[in-house]
């Protein structure tokens, strides 16, 4: 007798599980129920539809050759029955059936299963803020959301849009709104943008980029109320610190796993989603779950995490499809890898931020390593900022953050593979990364960062982060900031502090005797490569090891005040 496989949810994980199961079991009776009117669409492409890079929203539901992934497609090509506009309202585990409701006719019925898959996804967070039900306040999750926002963007010239939430979805909406003619404000409760992806010092360059593009940031500020203009539409946002008149609001403060159905069925549910084992089984061995509705396992932290990513959902679906057909496939977990593009600025991260690592009780060593993404003599060379995080005593890699106009993806993907294998700083330094001038420096930025951490670990250099040095300057500590850049570089950009002494690197050996030996000397240059050279020169000249410091990342990584002349 054919096995009955029932899938609840038709966007990413559900269709993937169904398609994989069909390939492995041509006799199974497979059904997907989806409460919406669309199935198997690329929700992650919605910001690029708003931007205009995707001309027709229907492309998000099509195969690479333009065939719509609709009910007929799934029946003819995948051999899967799909019931759209159909809501699963209850899981009857004792009878191994699901009660469903047709949202168009209102009729209810029951569908039996031998194996059940829950792929109910996530829903945008909509907190009970006064006025949140006013028209003109949108989330971006579904194709209907995308169409509604696109329509609201018409005639935008001179109007104002407010994005509530400085996370991934919110920032991906910035460019389409600016291009449409809106004045754009971002309100973010935390002190910096992309707080789930970046440490604050790494978010600073991105925030500077956003401001340079005309975006007004309200970080460290929260929304208190939305106010209407008398026509039922939002007209003003009141925050803890100000008020902003607005014509359009995009609410992008995160997503929550949709677990109501699983909870009502008595399945184990955690704070971050439905609990599953490595086989993607729930607490009921005949029920699997995957995608945005489940709690994922963070390989690096060794703890649960919430990871609502389309890539992860598809991996879950493949594992589930295998196991529906008697295999014993497992999913080992995630590293928290993510990437985005914000107005020509690329941002990627994998593993733990320094903040995450310290919160987990880990003793960490970090490095800031800005630099060009390929040799400076290549016309396409562009800068990137990098922060590498490792465990102090073991050298175990913990995470990396990379951002800037240059290429970031290969660095983060390399790091994600090493994290999954439990790699160390020494493993990274030995990694055989591809090299040719059109693609990377001879020593890739990632390996350079590993070398710097090795130097710190091996006692060759001490360093201050920009935040540590800024605290010392603000306290008025007596020190020397030794800037070893060329005079031409100094004319273009400099630090506005009386403690700065300028000696070009080529003169440091000659003039070392002019520097005080009873003060801390913080050596710096553009990216601190020459700063490191200068520090080693001073140590070789007999300066106190405890008083010679390198500024992590140099002046490029300095997020505070600078004199910029060109």
Give the length of the chain: 566
- Six-digit token string for 324: 């529906």
Closest by CA to 18, choosing from 122, 98, 118, is: 118
Q: How far is CA 119 from CA 93, 248, 418, 471, in A?
A: 17, 32, 30, 48
Which residue has 């070392």 as its token pair?
A: 512
Q: Which residues contact 430 (CB under 8 A, 6 or more apart)?
A: none
Q: What are phi and psi of 288, to 5 degrees?
A: -105, 160
Catalytic annotation, pick one of 13, 44, 139, 293? 44
Active site residue 293: no
For residue 157, CA distances in Å to 179, 180, 184, 278, 309 come to 9, 7, 11, 51, 33
Instruction: Enter the DSSP assignment of 77.
Output: I
Tokens of 485: 């850049």
Cα–Cα distances in angstroms (integers) from residue 523 to residues 133, 248, 426, 486, 504, in the given order: 55, 48, 26, 14, 11
User: What would the two tokens of residue 521 be?
Assistant: 């000397």
User: Which of these, 165, 161, 107, 118, lies nearest to 136 by C-alpha position?
Assistant: 161
From the list 120, 161, 125, the residue with the least C-alpha distance to 140 is: 125
**3 state DSSP class of 122:** strand
Q: Which residues are the active-site residues?
A: 44
């Amino acid at each position: 007798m054919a096995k009955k496989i029932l899938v609840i949810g038709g966007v990413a994980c559900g269709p993937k599980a169904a398609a994989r199961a069909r390939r492995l079991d041509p006799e199974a009776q497979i059904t997907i129920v989806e409460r919406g009117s669309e199935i198997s669409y690329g929700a992650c492409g919605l910001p690029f539809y708003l931007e205009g890079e995707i001309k027709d929203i229907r492309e998000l539901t099509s195969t690479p050759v333009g065939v719509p992934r609709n009910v007929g497609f799934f029946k003819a090509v995948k051999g899967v029955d799909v019931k759209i506009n159909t809501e699963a309202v209850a899981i009857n585990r004792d009878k191994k059936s699901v009660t469903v409701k047709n949202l168009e006719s209102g009729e209810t019925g029951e569908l039996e299963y031998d194996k059940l898959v829950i792929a109910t996804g996530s829903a945008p967070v909509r907190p009970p803020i006064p006025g949140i039900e006013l028209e003109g306040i949108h989330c971006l999750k579904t194709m209907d959301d995308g169409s509604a926002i696109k329509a609201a963007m018409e005639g935008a010239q001179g109007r104002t849009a407010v994005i509530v939430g400085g996370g991934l979805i919110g920032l991906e909406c910035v460019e389409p709104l600016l291009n449409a003619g809106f004045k754009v404000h971002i309100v973010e409760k935390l002190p910096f943008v992309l707080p789930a992806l970046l440490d604050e010092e790494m978010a600073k360059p991105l925030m500077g980029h956003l401001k340079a593009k005309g975006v007004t940031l309200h970080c460290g500020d929260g929304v208190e109320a939305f106010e209407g203009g008398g026509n039922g539409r939002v007209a003003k946002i009141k925050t803890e610190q100000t008020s902003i008149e607005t014509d359009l609001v995009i609410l992008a403060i995160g997503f929550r796993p949709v677990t109501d159905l699983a909870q009502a069925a008595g399945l184990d549910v955690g704070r971050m989603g439905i609990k599953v084992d490595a086989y993607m089984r729930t607490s009921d061995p005949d029920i699997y779950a995957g995608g945005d509705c489940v709690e994922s396992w963070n390989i690096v932290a060794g703890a649960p995490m919430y990871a609502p990513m389309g890539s992860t959902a598809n991996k879950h679906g493949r594992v589930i499809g295998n196991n529906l057909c008697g295999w014993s496939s497992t999913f080992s977990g995630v590293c928290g890898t993510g990437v985005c593009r914000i107005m020509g600025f690329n941002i990627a991260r994998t593993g733990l931020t320094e903040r995450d690592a310290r919160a987990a009780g880990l003793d960490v060593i970090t490095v800031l390593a800005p630099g060009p993404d390929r040799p400076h003599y290549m016309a396409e060379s562009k800068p990137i900022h990098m922060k590498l995080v490792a465990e102090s005593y073991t050298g175990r890699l913990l995470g990396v953050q990379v951002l800037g106009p240059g290429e970031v993806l290969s660095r983060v993907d390399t790091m994600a593979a090493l994290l999954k294998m439990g790699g160390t700083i020494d493993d990274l330094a030995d990694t055989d990364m591809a090299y040719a001038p059109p693609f990377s420096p001879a020593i890739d930025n990632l390996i350079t960062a590993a070398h710097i951490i090795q130097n710190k670990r091996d006692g060759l250099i001490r360093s201050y982060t920009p935040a540590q040095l800024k605290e010392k300057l603000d306290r008025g500590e007596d020190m020397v900031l030794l800037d070893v850049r060329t005079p031409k570089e100094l004319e273009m950009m400099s630090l506005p502090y009386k403690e700065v002494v300028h000696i070009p690197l080529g003169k440091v050996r000659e003039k070392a005797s002019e520097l005080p030996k009873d003060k801390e000397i913080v050596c710096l240059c553009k990216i601190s490569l020459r700063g490191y050279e200068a520090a080693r020169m001073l140590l070789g000249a007999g300066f106190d090891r405890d008083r010679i410091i390198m500024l992590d990342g140099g002046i490029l990584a300095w997020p505070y005040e600078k004199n910029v002349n060109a």
